[in-house]
Amino acid sequence: MRKHDESSDDWEKEKLNPNGWTPTRSNQQFNVVRKVYQQDTLNRDADYHHPHTSWRYQCKKFIRDCGFAECITTSVPLLRWLPQYSVKNYLLGDLIAGATTAIMHIPQGMAYALLAEVQPIVGLYMAFFPVLIYVIFGTSPHISMGTFAVGCLMAGKVVLQHSFHPAPQNLTGLVTALSNNSSQIEDHAPLYEPIQVLSAVCLSVGALQLLMWVFRMGAVATLLSEPLVSGFTTAASFNVLASQLKDLFGLTIPKLPGNFKVPLTVIEICKNLPKLNWAALIISFITCLVIALNNELLKPRVSKRSRIPVPIELLAIVTGTLVSRFALLHERFQISLVGDIPTGLPTPSLPKFEIVPLVILDAFTIMMVTYTITMSMALIFAAKEKYEISGNQELLALGASNVVGSFFCCAPICASLSRSYIQYQAGAKTNLTQAVSAMLILCVLLWIGPFFEQLPRCVLASIIVVSLKGMFVQILDLRRFWKLSQLDAFVWLITFLITVIINIDIGLLAGLLASVGALFIRSQKPYTCLLGRMLNTDLYLDVKRYRAAEEIPGIKIFHYCGGLNFATKNLFRTTIFRKTGYMKPATETSQLHDVDNNITKTDSYEWDPTVANRVKCIIIDATALSYVDAPGIKMLVTIHNELTSNDIIVLLAGANAPVLEMIEKYNNQASDRLQLDTFPTVHDAVVYYKILETRRRKDNQLAITVST
């Protein structure tokens, strides 16, 4: 190759059009003089070598990535931050944030435990035992672990499927219970106590999280896209609302099947409206109104003057308990109460392992949802405070917390959106915040628990419903997703509708399938274009988007963005032929004959026999080609052979090293080798072709001169 100077060739002498493009930001110019590189020449000059790692190094890396080597030093973050703890800088903020979070834990824990179909005291257990384990292994000091509406609702669905409930105290309730469980009795399915099923679910979720930690699968949270998570959590909030309607209206409705629970619940509520308990409805309305007014009006004003918010939920349950106790709400108005709340700590017991196979699939769904929500919250605060969050370490923290919690009748824990924001605003600095919160919850468990036995269930239902406001507002995300991408809006809508109408787990599965489908559709619609050259530059731009970019006569530069694999190979072939003019739309006179010999028009494409007169060279710009597999390379061979048979030169430019290495592997093993000239840049390929064309013309002129 000779050195090439753009100013030395006539065909490179171009002048700026006064009416055309001119530099707008800078008039600085630079000239680069170098020889035209083919890829092989560049590899030799740049001393290219394929990276190679020994088996010994790969084994060490595998062991290190699996966590065995770093387990001792990095798997217990407590050992890193506790010795460096600054009492002067951190203690006051941690104490205030811990006390504030504990105040929120009490009403939310008791309320969300009802979603899990167990006693309210279980919510307080979840705020104590698993949280202490998270303090040891967790990496985020700002998220509040414990109960969360979506996680408890999903766990409650599994509890209802595999458990029996305490026998009703009246004959009507007994008949209803027998009719509801008749299908399970006919199937001879073993039923367990709700707390046993919940412990098995918690153990299964923890075991799955620990297994994922061992295999370093912390990035699995990225499998759930933002539209999927938004649509799912929004729909789950409607499921939570539907589950609380009976307590808000003071109604008793029969147990409903697993699928179509939301619409069936609404139907049952409407049927039983004549029997609604007006006292429960009034209490629910007053509670919701007071909490909502506090959140919308009083809370923003208080936050400007104090880091400690008004504990309105705690005030609501204390007030509700006192009113119920002294006004005899249960005896006079048949208001449903929380009931017996034991004091002290539960005795640790092994979960029933025979339940695990029955709930393992549901546990996987719960694990994915709770881990994704927890990681999303942790990453939000990490970005604000500029520290790192380890996804794998969070798997260990959540897994260990859930495994330990399963021995104390807990449900799978998750980060709470509302409590986390309050904990952050209250000044949390380290994980000592959650330890302080757990100690205060311990006081409630040991001494204060029985005080809430007279608490009306409609008060807890009201707290749950008002707390869902943030997730209800997420329905506005649909408009944002629609403006950004209709495919994302489609994923959101499918996930939301199926989760609301059918069921939570089916909705999540549908959302995953819709996300995969959206990825496939995007892969089938890669960005492709023809490139043109900016005058006096080596820049090649999309001719449809940049009017100053002009195509070079006789050369078609095809730009492809995406992967070339078995799924996209046919699309690649069709697109390059259509873009470069090798195939043209069939004319209106082009006709096909069907089986009845009737003439019909077609809008298909046909080969253009005159293409060789207009196109002499096709350059495939592979700068954005991310991946190629064997079927993709085989398609390149087919395209190359077809074009060269029509006297069209094919060049490959800008391919990255892994793509070139894959082509080399293919050529070493396959009989139909890909014999393409490759270049590091599009401009190298263009200059190379023009040099060939110049030499060919000189040779033709010389041949004509000799013949004459």
Contacts of 265 (CB under 8 A, 6+ apart): 242, 243, 245, 246, 253, 256
| pLDDT tens, position by position, 414-427 | 999 889 988 998 88
- For 192, which DSSP code? B
Read off the pTM.
Answer: 0.78
Is the pLDDT at 698 greater than 70, yes or no?
A: yes
Is the pLDDT at 587 greater than 80, yes or no?
A: no
- For 24, which DSSP code? S
Contact indicator for 199, 162 with CB cutoff of 8 Å = no
Q: At 256, is the secondary structure helix, strand, or coil?
A: coil
Window from 554-563, 663-672, 699-708 with minimum mean pLDDT:
699-708
The pLDDT score that the predictor gives to residue 259 is 85
Between 76 and 188, the more confident residue is 76
Is the pLDDT at 68 greater than 70, yes or no?
A: no
The pLDDT score that the predictor gives to residue 27 is 57
The pLDDT score that the predictor gives to residue 15 is 40
Between 16 and 123, the more confident residue is 123
pLDDT band (50, 70, 90) for residue 586 = low
3-state secondary structure 461-507: HHHHHHHCHHHHHHHHHHHHHHHHCHHHHHHHHHHHHHHHHCCHHHH
Between 705 and 437, the more confident residue is 437
State the alpha helices, DSSP H only, in 187-225.
Answer: 194-214
Is the pLDDT at 537 greater than 50, yes or no?
A: yes
**Cβ neighbour number for residue 571 with a 10 Å cutoff:** 18
Nearest to 689 by CA among 644, 643, 650, 636: 650
Between 3 and 277, the more confident residue is 277
Between 46 and 543, the more confident residue is 543
- Strand 605-607 vs strand 583-585: parallel, antiparallel, or unpaired? antiparallel
Please give the Cα distance from 288 to 299 (Å, whole number). Answer: 15
Is the pLDDT at 187 greater than 50, yes or no?
A: no
Contact indicator for 130, 146 with CB cutoff of 8 Å = yes
Contact indicator for 491, 370 with CB cutoff of 8 Å = no
Between 215 and 43, the more confident residue is 215
pLDDT band (50, 70, 90) for residue 10 = very low
| pLDDT tens, position by position, 599-654 | 333 346 677 778 878 899 999 999 999 999 999 999 999 999 999 998 899 999 99
Contacts of 661 (CB under 8 A, 6+ apart): 50
The pLDDT score that the predictor gives to residue 421 is 86
Between 29 and 558, the more confident residue is 558
> What is the average pLDDT value for the chain, to the nearest integer?
84
User: Would you state the structure tokens that stand for residue 416, as one six-digit string?
Assistant: 């709470």
Please give the Cα distance from 470 to 475 (Å, whole number). Answer: 10
Please give the Cα distance from 320 to 458 (Å, whole number). Answer: 9
pLDDT band (50, 70, 90) for residue 407 = very high
**Cβ neighbour number for residue 241 with a 10 Å cutoff:** 20
User: Would you state the structure tokens that stand for residue 440, as one six-digit string?
Assistant: 């205060």
